[in-house]
């Protein structure tokens, strides 16, 4: 008998490699994407086998909507950005993940979508650690 | 005394010019974007003065999440696409509008975001009318 639990959540290794864990929310794992051009959160519902929003249970989708809103509000407050962009594509990595991205009128991709635009810039490690800590504190109390 | 109702919903004229009305859902007006490269729905919450997802009341956000999911499922069923992409940017038109876009592995922008990519292709009018009718029937019964 197989010991594999098909319902167990595993983070896609490409998402893990391109981002740092911030904290777990009720449904999602919140992560900071490795791209210093835009403060950029990823929300990954901790559910197995989910690719499309319509694959989620409605009760999970309601929680996800609130976590997206909270993440956007925190990111706006912390960065004082001009606009929050939210997207879920999954054309490369099929595991459902939602981008919540702070946009500025003078950022490299403005006004186009930032996702997949150009090459990421690496964070200075101290700056990234400081941002992770601020976001962790804010998201946990959101 | 002003007769202007600040709470009244008005569709942004740029959205109106670039899309055709499909139908009203409980919260959103559903529209078909004028770009034959990708079957592409717009969902616009019929609320005034809303730009960010976190500007919506939580009860509206829960309805929006269900309407996004239903629109994605309908679009997937109708087009048999490879992936549904969902995004809300608002960097040009600030009125909250959600893109629900059918993506194909051989479409022009794949795997990048289709929003703002290249120049739209106009629909043949008969094809557009037929698609509008199919989407209207399906969304109303979703």
The mean-pLDDT minimum among A101-105, A112-116, B2-6 falls in: B2-6
Whether A53 and B86 lie within 8 Å, measured CB to CB: yes
pLDDT at A19 over 60: yes
CA-based nearest distance A129→chain B, Å: 26
Q: How confident is the model at residue B69 (pLDDT cuts 50, 70, 90)?
A: very high
List of chain A residues whose C-beta atoms are within 8 Å of the C-beta of residue B82: 91
At residue A22, the pLDDT reads 98
Taking the Cβ of residue B104 and every Cβ of chain A, the question of whether any pair is shorter than 8 Å is answered with no
Which positions 44-83 of B are in contact with A (Cβ < 8 Å)? Answer: 51-54, 56, 58, 61-62, 64-66, 68-70, 72-73, 76, 82-83
Give me the sign of the Cα torsion angle B47, B49, B51, B53: negative
Q: In this complex, do B84 and A58 lie within 8 Å of one another by their Cβ atoms?
A: no
Q: Is the pLDDT of residue B5 over 70?
A: no
B102-126: average pLDDT: 95
End-to-end distance of chain A based on CA atoms, in angstroms? 43
Task: Name the residue facing A54 among B72, B110, B115 (closest C-beta).
Answer: B72
Determine contact, residues B67/B28, Cβ cutoff 8 Å: yes
Average of pLDDT values for B92-100? 98
Is residue A51 classed as helix, strand or coil in its secondary structure?
A: coil
CATH number of the structural domain B12-110+119-140? 3.30.428.10
Provide ipTM, 2 decimals: 0.94
Tens-place pLDDT, residues A48-63: 999 999 999 999 999 9
Kindly list the domain boundaries of chain A, sorted by start residue: 12-110+119-140
Give the nearest partner residue to B54 out of A53, A64, A69, using CB atoms: A69
Read off the pLDDT of each residue in A21-50 and give the average, rounded to a whole number.
Answer: 97
DSSP-assigned letters across all residues of chain B: -----TT-----HHHHHTEEEEEE-SSEEEEEES-TTS-EEEEEES-TT--SGGGS-HHHHHHHHHHHHHHHHHHHHHH--SEEEEEE--SS--S--EEEEEE-TTSTTTTS--TT-SPPPPPPHHHHHHHHHHHHHHHHT-
- What's residue B142's pLDDT? 84
d(CA A32, CA B104): 28
pLDDT score for A6: 54
Closest CB from A58, A84, A88 relative to B66: A58
Percent of chain B with pLDDT over 70: 95
Each residue's pLDDT tens digit, B14-43: 999 999 999 999 999 999 999 999 999 999
pLDDT at B2: 44
- Asked whether residue B138 carries a pLDDT value surpassing 50, the answer given is yes
pLDDT score of A24: 97
Q: Does A3 have pLDDT greater than 60?
A: no
User: Is the distance from CB of B86 to CB of B71 less than 8 angstroms?
Assistant: no
CB B8 within 8 A of CB B37: no
State pTM to two decimals.
0.94
* Residue located via tokens 């896609």: A12
What is the pLDDT of chain B when averaged over all its residues?
Answer: 94
Per-residue confidence (pLDDT) for residue B139, from 0 to 100: 97
B111 upstream amide cis, omega within 30 of 0:
yes
């Amino acid at each position: 008998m197989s010991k594999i639990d098909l319902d167990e959540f595993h983070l896609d290794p490409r998402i893990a490699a391109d981002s740092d864990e911030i904290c777990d929310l009720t449904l999602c794992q919140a992560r900071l994407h490795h791209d210093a051009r835009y403060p950029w959160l990823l929300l990954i519902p901790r559910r197995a086998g989910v690719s499309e929003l319509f694959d989620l249970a409605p009760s999970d989708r309601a929680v996800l909507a609130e976590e997206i809103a909270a993440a956007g509000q925190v990111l706006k407050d912390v960065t004082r950005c001009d606009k929050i962009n939210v997207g879920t594509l999954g054309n490369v990595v099929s595991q459902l993940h939602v981008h919540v991205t702070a946009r500025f009128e003078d950022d490299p991709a403005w006004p186009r979508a930032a996702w997949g635009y150009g090459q990421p810039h690496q964070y200075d490690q101290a700056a990234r650690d400081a941002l992770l800590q601020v976001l962790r504190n804010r998201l946990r109390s959101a």
